[in-house]
A and B are shown apart, each in its own frame.
Chain A
Amino acid sequence: GAVVSQHPSWVICKSGTSVKIECRSLDFQATTMFWYRQFPKQSLMLMATSNEGSKATYEQGVEKDKFLINHASLTLSTLTVTSAHPEDSSFYICSAEGLASEQYFGPGTRLTVT
């Protein structure tokens, strides 16, 4: 199956700092990638749809100025959490879309803001 990597796998940062998370499709090109966050024992919450070469589409309630998404190439999308606060602590996951709209997920990034 297709491989998607995410970096870092976990990060601890201080309140007020910014964190960048990278999502890479390693063996295929993905025009569309999605970003999610997930709290323990809950479902995936879609944050935004990232299309290569265009602005991301954010879900209602997700602050686009706080969660900056850049999809500069067909294999890389980045999510930057700006001015992070403890309530931003979560599991952030990306997925890259295959030809049949199936989603290939990255391993996730666990963010802890202290």
Chain B
Amino acid sequence: GQSLEQPSEVTAVEGAIVQINCTYQTSGFYGLSWYQQHDGGAPTFLSYNGLDGLEETGRFSSFLSRSDSYGYLLLQELQMKDSASYFCAVRDDKIIFGKGTRLHILP
């Protein structure tokens, strides 16, 4: 079957760095994306990796290794507003989402 695995929860301290991993098993692959969702809101697009390597966008970076079917989202200089759920997603013949990682940030 097709699936994406990511941790259900991660806790980190304000100002620190946190990494959220995602492994996937899909029949096809057109890229790995990351989305942020705050409670009560809709997801927002954070980053996309179509090729292996690191993509950096401000405090957020995303990495992909297609040979390992693995990627991660790296959040630096954590702020309280980063408390949210983070989803990885793979585009196959449709879009497949992981179950989401709830990020808790401690002051």
Q: Which residues of B contact A95 (CB under 8 A)?
A: 43, 95
Q: Which residues of B contact A106 (CB under 8 A)?
A: 42
Given A43-B100, A44-B97, A57-B94, A102 and B44 contact (CB-CB distance below 8 Å): no
CB < 8 Å neighbour of A103 from B33, B99, B100: B33
Q: Which residues of B contact A44 (CB under 8 A)?
A: 43, 87, 97
CB atoms of B50 and A105 under 8 A apart: no
CB closest residue in chain B, given A36:
B97
Which interface class (under 10, 10 to 19, 20 to 34, 35 or more) fits B?
20 to 34
CB atoms of B99 and A43 under 8 A apart: yes
CB atoms of B87 and A34 under 8 A apart: no
CB atoms of A1 and B98 under 8 A apart: no
CB closest residue in chain B, given A107:
B42
- Alpha-carbon gap, A1 to B46, bound state (A): 10
- Alpha-carbon gap, A44 to B44, bound state (A): 13
Which interface class (under 10, 10 to 19, 20 to 34, 35 or more) fits A?
20 to 34
Most buried by A among B42, B43, B95: B42
CB atoms of B45 and A102 under 8 A apart: yes
CB closest residue in chain B, given A34:
B95
CB atoms of A102 and B48 under 8 A apart: yes
Q: Which residues of B contact A42 (CB under 8 A)?
A: 99
- Alpha-carbon gap, A49 to B91, bound state (A): 12
Is A54 located at the chain interface by the 8 A CB criterion?
no
> Can you pick out 6 interface pairs between chain A and chain B where the beta carbons lie within 8 Å of each other?
A49-B95, A59-B94, A101-B30, A101-B50, A105-B43, A106-B42
11 further interface pairs, Cβ-Cβ under 8 Å (given A43-B87, A43-B98, A44-B97)? A34-B94, A43-B97, A46-B97, A59-B94, A100-B48, A101-B91, A102-B45, A103-B95, A105-B35, A106-B42, A107-B41
